[in-house]
Amino acid sequence: MSDECPVEDSFAEDATCSPGAGAAASVEVVDASGSGPHEAPDEYDDLLAGIGRSEDDDERCAVHEAGHAVAARLLGKPLGGATINPDPNGKYGGLVWGPRHSVAFGSDDDDGDVLELCNKLQDLMPQDGEARGDAADIYLHAHDRCIELAAASVAERMLLAGEPVPSVSDVEQAVALASLVCKSAEAVERFLAFAEQQARDLLTPHVPIIMALSIVLKIRRTLTGVEIDDVIATTVAGLQLAEEQARRREWRNAELAADRFRAACDHTDVAARATF
């Protein structure tokens, strides 16, 4: 999502998501963006019926988009927003977009087709014997974007049962980007495997944040970039507070154990003196 690279900075998902189980653990979420309480079950059911999606599918879509968004922010990429509402024309089931998008279903960038842009750039990439310096931004962009694209399915594997159904759009974009920096199909495959492992390493310490963001996305449906950052910041603050409270409880328990030990020692000493 670097402004220096012309490649589009959005993640468009397939309109159909695969069923999955609930998140592995519950997280208390404070919606810093100021949303109200969760929708009543009948309203949520009506919403899902209107978009033709099951609750399991909706959860999987929310985790998928949360994976994209959290990976992007961990890589220092700005976000314009995210939605788990499908495109009315069936182009995607959810979307994370960059700062150049002014709205969820439109773009400020006329050159928004990733595949078309990659095809145009292919012939302009350095050939054997040519310096790579001038194309360094494109190489870095392809690396980061492939990690961001892989992060969605990685997040699903972390939080949901079963294997995710690959997003056709994600796969096509990742292959097109990898092809800019790889010389063979085998190299593309290995590059994407590397990106997937990088995504797993990146997301593993931050699973609670992915969970929290996915929950808020299910409630709010669409979030701006600022609201995404607010959810992340609130969740991080809550985790840090819980960690500090646990540390203080552990320290207090250690103090109490030490007091009991000293009292036992004093009692033993008194008893020994009385014997003599």
Whether 262 maps to a domain, the answer reads: no
Whether 143 maps to a domain, the answer reads: yes
Q: Report the Cα 114 to chain-centroid distance in Å.
A: 21
- Burial per residue of 24-47, b for 16 or more beta-carbon CB atoms within 10 angstroms, e otherwise: eeebebebbbeeeeeeeeeeeeee
Average pLDDT, the chain: 80
Whether 207 maps to a domain, the answer reads: yes
Whether 246 maps to a domain, the answer reads: no
Q: Which helix (H) or strand (E) holds 98?
A: none
Tell me, what's the pLDDT at 164?
Answer: 87
Quick check: 107 pLDDT over 70? no
Tell me, what's the pLDDT at 126?
Answer: 74
Asked if 234 and 32 count as a contact pair (C-beta separation under 8 A), the reply is yes
* Nearest by Cα to 207 from 82, 70, 31: 70
Asked if 85 and 218 count as a contact pair (C-beta separation under 8 A), the reply is no
Q: Report the Cα 184 to chain-centroid distance in Å.
A: 29
Question: Considering just the CA atoms, what is the radius of gyration of the chain in Å?
Answer: 25
Q: How many residues does the chain have?
A: 276
Quick check: 207 pLDDT over 80? yes
Asked if 30 and 234 count as a contact pair (C-beta separation under 8 A), the reply is yes
Domains in the chain, number: 1
The SS3 of residue 96 is strand
Tell me, what's the pLDDT at 68?
Answer: 95
Q: Distance between terminal CA atoms of the chain?
A: 82
Higher pLDDT, 276 or 200: 200
Q: Look up residue 1 and give its two tokens.
A: 């999502």
- Rounded to whole angstroms, the Cα distance separating 33 from 37 reads 12
> Which range of residues forms the domain containing residue 180?
10-235
- Rounded to whole angstroms, the Cα distance separating 96 from 65 reads 6
Higher pLDDT, 78 or 101: 78
Asked if 108 and 90 count as a contact pair (C-beta separation under 8 A), the reply is no
Q: Is the pTM of this model over 0.85?
A: no
- Rounded to whole angstroms, the Cα distance separating 146 from 176 reads 10
- Weakest mean pLDDT among 36-45, 103-112, 146-155, 173-182: 103-112
* Nearest by Cα to 222 from 72, 90, 47: 47
Tell me, what's the pLDDT at 269?
Answer: 66
Residue 104 is part of a domain; what is its CATH number? 1.20.58.760
Long-range contacts of 190-195 (CB under 8 A, 24+ apart): 191/146, 192/146, 192/150, 195/143, 195/146, 195/147, 195/149, 195/150
Crossing angle (nearest 10°) for helices 207-220 and 225-275: 130
CA distances 57 to 51, 186, 189, 243, Å, are 11, 33, 28, 33
* Nearest by Cα to 94 from 72, 126, 67, 134: 67
Whether 3 maps to a domain, the answer reads: no
Higher pLDDT, 100 or 78: 78
54 φ, ψ (degrees, to nearest 5): -80, 165
pLDDT confidence band for 103 (50 / 70 / 90): very low
Whether 244 maps to a domain, the answer reads: no
Whether 4 maps to a domain, the answer reads: no
Whether 199 maps to a domain, the answer reads: yes
